Amino acid sequence: PSRPGCSKPHPGTGGQILVLGLDGAGKSSVLHSLATNQVKRSVAPTEGFNAVCINSGESQMDFLEIGGSESLRSYWKMYLPKVLLLIYVVDSADHARLPVAKELLHQLIQNNSTLPVVVLANKQDLEGAYCITDIYDALALSDIGDKRKMFLLGTHVAEDGSEISSSMKDAKELIAQLVLEVQ
Ligand SMILES: Nc1nc2c(ncn2[C@@H]2O[C@H](COP(=O)(O)OP(=O)(O)OP(=O)(O)O)[C@@H](O)[C@H]2O)c(=O)[nH]1
Ligand SMILES: [Mg+2]
């Protein structure tokens, strides 16, 4: 059976890149920017799933975002076993909910010691956004284990129209590279 997203699924692999994080963190906005190389903030919460296929160099990347609202979070772990890579997006300025974001991330990956994780500290443009070292501490990323590949990058999705930032290009290249390595 073919999955939504990529027209040519990779044979023999789960192949998906799961994109998770609390509601409003910016998952859809980041995916849109990565897909089009144009910045456009998403306007509506994802009510279920959002599948996006992106080609970058030799990699075909098959992203699946699951919405972050409370009712959808129960689906997150169901999709984990087959994925290549987890992208976890946080709103760097949402100080009040960083502890929840941390708990959910740790719960998700506790039984999978090798799944690579890319954490995107999004909304770095907002005044009051925590910097990367504060996000590292708030999410207790040092506890995540040294067996897995773990990356933490700051990103932001600017107002509509402009080209994507260099941080977003770096994120895209890193993800493409990881997909090649883990396949
Ligand atoms: N200032 C700022 N706003 C952002 C950024 N990224 C996203 N937003 C805004 O944050 C809100 C939520 O963005 P989404 O991309 O829909 O968030 P999401 O993680 O997909 O949310 P759900 O689908 O509900 O789980 C929207 O109003 C976006 O315009 C960013 O980097 N900076
Ligand atoms: Mg969304």
Structural domains of the chain, ranges and CATH numbers in brackets: 16-182 (3.40.50.300)
Considering only residues 160 and 8, tell me which one the structure prediction assigns the higher pLDDT. 160
183 CA → ligand 2 middle, Å: 26
Mean pLDDT of 154-180: 86
60 bridge partner residues: 55
Q: Which residues are annotated as a binding site for Mg(2+)?
A: 28, 46
pLDDT at 63 over 80: yes
Average pLDDT value for the chain: 88
Atom 13 (ligand 1) nearest CA: 26
ipTM: 0.99
Atom 27 (ligand 1) nearest CA: 43
The owner of tokens 């075909």 is: 60
Which atom of ligand 1 approaches the CA of 89 most closely?
A: 19
Q: Tens digits of per-residue pLDDT, 151-162?
A: 999 999 887 667
pLDDT at 178 over 70: yes
**Is-contact 174 153, C-beta < 8 A?**
yes
How far is the C-alpha of 38 from the C-alpha of 153, rounded, in Å?
Answer: 19
Q: What is the pTM assigned to this prediction?
A: 0.93
CB environment 70-80: b (16+ within 10 A), e (fewer): eebbeebeebb
Pocket of ligand 1 (CB under 6 A): 21, 23-29, 41-42, 45-46, 67-69, 89, 122-123, 125-126, 156-157
43 CA → ligand 1 middle, Å: 7
How far is the C-alpha of 122 from the C-alpha of 145, rounded, in Å?
Answer: 23
**Which protein residues have a CB closer than 5 Å to ligand 2 (ion)?**
27-28, 46
**Secondary element (H or E) of residue 117:** strand 117-122
pLDDT at 2 over 50: no
